[in-house]
Amino acid sequence: MKGHNAHGNSFLAKNHFICSSMEDFYEKRKKYEDFLKSKIVLQYTLDDEFIAEYPSVMEASRVLNKSWASIFRCCKGQQQEAHGFKWKLKF
């Protein structure tokens, strides 16, 4: 956290949520975690061949013992691949 005071001024938490209170921070973090646990994730080779489907980013991370954050960034299009694979959200 960057800072928080008794006057309710905004602060920047370490995961980059801008919040006006700790309650706001926990609410936003809960929604984010729920999102990560609820979207089906598809795993592909770098040549776009389908490999597997996982019920969530968190489950793919757990099964492969890899970072969920890089898988999620790949799903959002912020990076091309994560852990040697392409990842997409199933809609």
State residue 36's pLDDT score. Answer: 67
Q: Tell me, yes or no, whether 30 and 48 share the same domain.
A: no
pTM of this prediction exceeds 0.75: no
Q: Inform me whether the pLDDT recorded for 55 exceeds 80.
A: yes
Q: Tell me, yes or no, whether 51 and 22 share the same domain.
A: no
Average pLDDT (1-22) is 53
State residue 17's pLDDT score. Answer: 56
State residue 38's pLDDT score. Answer: 78
Q: Tell me, yes or no, whether 63 and 87 share the same domain.
A: yes
Domain that holds residue 13: 1-38
Q: Tell me, yes or no, whether 30 and 45 share the same domain.
A: no
The total number of structural domains in the chain stands at 2
CATH number at residue 80: 1.10.10.10
State residue 11's pLDDT score. Answer: 45
- Going from the C-alpha of 65 to that of each of 55, 71, 83, the distances in angstroms are 15, 12, 10
Q: Tell me, yes or no, whether 18 and 47 share the same domain.
A: no
Q: Tell me, yes or no, whether 70 and 33 share the same domain.
A: no
